[in-house]
């Protein structure tokens, strides 16, 4: 793509302002930490948006100029308006990429795109997480080995109630024995959706080199190949390409 991929990193930005321990890990918020490393990639144009801004930071003009949206949310999913959630979903169906991180498994746009509960089991116990790269040839796994580890993370375990992914790129194993489909890819309409599990707010996960590589790979993978504005319409195609012969006994 000749033009830069326009990325909007959305974050509810609540924990990092209310919880001292989280603030220490992400002083300017998770969104700024993600924008920092993505901003070093010359092929991307990166900006951020947060819940407290007008229209939750996502008025139509922001959506219209976003190729890939990254979403982090946890405790304030219900404060995102239904209108904004619908706007994000519609833009994905038109071709925008959407990357849901960690607790964004329960955010409104992701749930709308999946159509299922998106539920899972979880535990906060400083567990070691080993991510197995099970689709080494997938673009989102580019540059990774067979597996990598995060020394401490929150556990997310199966069953993850999502539709069967088009590709399951990563599976996580946790110290306590649970497993989880940690990297799942889907197509929705003309858009691409990727869910990536790691990123609990109290761990420095978004500074990890492998995690950063995966998010950058996912942005490139999810970038629109085509945009189809008006994809929601169902027009009556009155004018046919070919002449239609009148049929004997037909009503008209
Ligand atoms: Zn979490």
Write down the pLDDT at residue 248: 82
Write down the pLDDT at residue 104: 98
Write down the pLDDT at residue 174: 98
Q: How far is the CA of 235 from the centre of ligand 1 (A)?
A: 43
Is the residue at 247 inside a domain? no
Is the residue at 77 inside a domain? yes
Is the residue at 85 inside a domain? yes
Q: How many domains does the chain have?
A: 1
Write down the pLDDT at residue 231: 83
Is the residue at 242 inside a domain? no
Write down the pLDDT at residue 1: 47
For 15, 81, 205, the CA distances from 200, given in Å and listed in that order, are: 11, 24, 7
Q: How far is the CA of 215 from the centre of ligand 1 (A)?
A: 17
Q: How far is the CA of 11 from the centre of ligand 1 (A)?
A: 13
Q: How far is the CA of 4 from the centre of ligand 1 (A)?
A: 31
Q: How far is the CA of 203 from the centre of ligand 1 (A)?
A: 9
pLDDT (tens, 9 = 90+) of the chain, 252 residues, equals 469 999 999 999 999 999 999 999 999 999 999 999 999 999 999 999 999 999 999 999 999 999 999 999 999 999 999 999 999 999 999 999 999 999 999 999 999 999 999 999 999 999 999 999 999 999 999 999 999 999 999 999 999 999 999 999 999 999 999 999 999 999 999 999 999 999 999 999 999 999 999 999 999 999 999 999 888 889 999 999 999 998 887 765
Q: List phi, psi (to 5°) of 219.
A: -60, -45
Domain that holds residue 178: 5-222
Residue 97, SS3 per DSSP: strand
Is the residue at 237 inside a domain? no
Q: How far is the CA of 234 from the centre of ligand 1 (A)?
A: 40
Report the interhelical angle of 30-39 vs 209-222 (nearest 10°): 70
Q: Residue 49 maps to which CATH number?
A: 3.40.50.880
Element (H, E) at 231: none
Q: What is the DSSP track for 167-200?
A: EEEEEEEETTS-EEEEEEEEEETTEEEEEE----
Is the residue at 239 inside a domain? no
Q: How far is the CA of 120 from the centre of ligand 1 (A)?
A: 12
Is the residue at 90 inside a domain? yes
Rounded distance, CA 39 to CA 251, Å? Answer: 63
Write down the pLDDT at residue 249: 77
Write down the pLDDT at residue 2: 60
Is the residue at 231 inside a domain? no
Cα 59 to the center of its chain, rounded Å: 19
């Amino acid at each position: 793509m000749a033009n830069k991929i326009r990325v909007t990193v959305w974050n509810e930005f609540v924990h990092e302002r209310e919880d001292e321990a989280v603030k220490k890990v992400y002083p300017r918020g998770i969104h700024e930490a993600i924008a920092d490393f993505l901003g070093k990639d010359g092929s991307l144009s990166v900006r951020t948006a947060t819940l407290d801004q007008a229209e939750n930071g996502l008025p139509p003009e922001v959506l219209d100029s976003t190729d890939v949206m990254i979403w982090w949310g946890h405790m304030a999913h219900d404060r995102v308006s239904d209108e904004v959630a619908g706007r994000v979903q519609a833009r994905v169906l038109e071709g925008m990429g959407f990357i849901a991180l960690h607790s964004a498994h329960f955010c409104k746009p992701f749930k709308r795109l999946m159509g299922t509960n998106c539920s899972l089991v979880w535990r906060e116990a400083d567990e070691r997480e080993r991510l197995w790269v099970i689709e080494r040839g997938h673009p989102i796994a580019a540059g990774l080995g067979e597996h990598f580890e995060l020394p401490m993370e929150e556990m997310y375990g199966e069953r993850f109630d999502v539709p069967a992914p088009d590709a399951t790129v990563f599976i996580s194993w946790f110290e306590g024995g649970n497993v989880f489909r940690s990297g799942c890819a889907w197509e929705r309409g003309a858009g691409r959706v990727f869910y990536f599990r790691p990123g609990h707010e109290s761990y420095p996960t978004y500074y990890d080199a492998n995690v950063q590589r995966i998010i950058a790979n996912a942005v490139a993978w999810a970038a629109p190949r085509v945009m189809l504005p008006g994809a929601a319409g169902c027009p009556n195609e009155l004018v046919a390409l070919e002449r239609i012969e009148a049929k004997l006994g037909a009503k008209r």
